[in-house]
Amino acid sequence: MELIRGLHNLRPRHRGHVVTIGNFDGVHVGHQAILSRLRESAARAGLPSCVVIFEPQPREFFAGREAPPRLSRLRDKLALLKAAGVDRVLCLSFNQRLRELTAEAFVQRILVEGLGVTHLQVGDDFRFGCDRAGDFAFLQQAGSTLGFTVENTQTVELLGDRVSSTRIRSLLESGDFATAEALLDRPFVIAGRVLHGQKLGRTLGVPTANIQLKRLRAPLHGVYVVSVQHEGQVLAGVANIGERPSVAGDGQAHLEVHVLDYAGDLYGQYLPVRFHAKLRDEQKFAGLDALKAAIYADIDAARAYWQQYPLPCCV
Ligand SMILES: Cc1cc2nc3c(=O)[nH]c(=O)nc-3n(C[C@H](O)[C@H](O)[C@H](O)COP(=O)(O)O)c2cc1C
Ligand SMILES: Nc1ncnc2c1ncn2[C@@H]1O[C@H](COP(=O)(O)OP(=O)(O)O)[C@@H](O)[C@H]1O
């Protein structure tokens, strides 16, 4: 899969595409339905498929830190699009210039002149262009004048409701990982490198691997039963994701995992963490003794969980 960053990196060889546009946050089963139609249309046309995404996502541009947290970082999203058989991704920076582009100019400059679109696959509620003025009817009209076809992908419903990134976010928030997994068609995993922390964990008797979140604002907060994958093995664990109000922190959210019955060195490892159940919200404890007692109780609760359920075969 080829990643093209910005319109200015489009070359004449990039003309002629079957295209879809969107945020594709999480690449859930609804997105996968669009991508599968895209793949079919591309094969029929004998042209490469192209997904146009925005970075930051438009809601992040408008609302900044008030925007909902992402289900997938850019690198995860790209890996998932690649796995879905997408040939090219055009990643446009969503800035003031792009936001002011009218729907007509968007179609003309990006889709027609930039990508040489022959077919456009869109989701059922897709709207774009300045003030979201471009809808399906507009696109069909534009397509008939400018020479491309437009197809609407039907809403994908699962367990009685429409699949959406918002619904998955709220399932994760409420700790319903089984339903979130069904909507994502994969487990919800946060992966990152293990960094050095404040070295407090081991003095509490609970060493924790601190996973680097970088700019990711996780859609989770609290204490969870987790599993991690390390050197080809799946290990049971318990994790906290939050600002650690009981110890002087840096105000940033951290993901910290205590791996049960493990005593090795994890520094520098890239650790995928899969979430299984929520145990409680993060709390501010009066002192380290109270924090320690709560963490020991969490470890007991995680052990009880893993006695009831088998460890997954992979994370
Ligand atoms: C299972 C678990 C639960 C935790 N719960 C809380 C909590 O409720 N409140 C809090 O301030 N910190 C909580 N923490 C974070 C600890 O404060 C943190 O792991 C400890 O300070 C060690 O930090 P270090 O790895 O940087 O040394 C929890 C950690 C774990 C592993
Ligand atoms: N059971 C375990 N779970 C998680 N990390 C462990 C475990 N046993 C040893 N470690 C190692 O100890 C480190 C964490 O120790 P800790 O005192 O919490 O220091 P830090 O503040 O640097 O995270 C981990 O990064 C890992 O290399």
pLDDT in tens, 187-221: 999 999 999 988 888 788 999 999 988 777 889 99
CA dihedral 293, 295, 298, 304 (to 10 degrees): -80
For the stretch 157-198, pLDDT in tens is 999 999 999 999 999 999 999 999 999 999 999 999 999 988
Domains of the chain in start order, with CATH, are 2-161 (3.40.50.620), 188-308 (2.40.30.30)
| Amino acid identity for residue 82 in this structure | K
Helix axes 165-173, 177-184, angle to 10 degrees: 160
Q: Is the CB of 266 under 6 A from ligand 2?
A: yes
CB distance 184 to 26 below 8 Å: yes
For residue range 224-249, what is the model confidence (pLDDT) as tens digits?
A: 999 999 999 999 999 999 999 998 77
Mutate to test the pocket of ligand 1, among 200, 213, 221, 244 (most ligand atoms within 8 A of CB): 244
| CA angle centred on 181, ends 19 and 217, rounded to 5° | 75
ipTM: 0.85
Predicted structure pTM score:
0.91
Which ligand lies nearest the alpha carbon of 238? 1
CA of 207 to the centre of ligand 2 (A): 4
The pLDDT assigned to 129 comes to: 80
Looking from the CA of 11 toward its CB, the CA atoms found within 13 Å total 5
Give dist(CA 122, CA 84) in Å, integer: 16
Ligand 1: nearest atom to the Cα of 207: 25
* Pocket flag, ligand 2, residue 58 (CB < 6 Å): no
HSE-up of 80 (CA within 13 Å, CB side)?
23
For ligand 1, the distance from its centroid to the CA atom of residue 11, given in whole angstroms, is 50
Inter-residue contact 150 to 21 (CB < 8 Å):
no
CA distance 191 to 125: 31
- Expressed in angstroms and rounded, the spacing between residue 255 Cα and the centre of ligand 2 is 12
Q: How many Å apart are CA 96 and CA 123, to the nearest integer?
A: 25
Q: What is the pLDDT of residues 241-299, one digit of tens each?
A: 999 999 877 888 999 999 999 999 999 999 999 999 999 999 999 999 999 999 999 99
CA 206 to centroid of ligand 1, rounded, Å = 9
Which residues lie with the beta carbon below 6 Å from any ligand 1 atom? 197-201, 206, 208, 210, 223, 238, 240, 244-247, 256, 258, 282-283, 285, 291, 294-295, 298
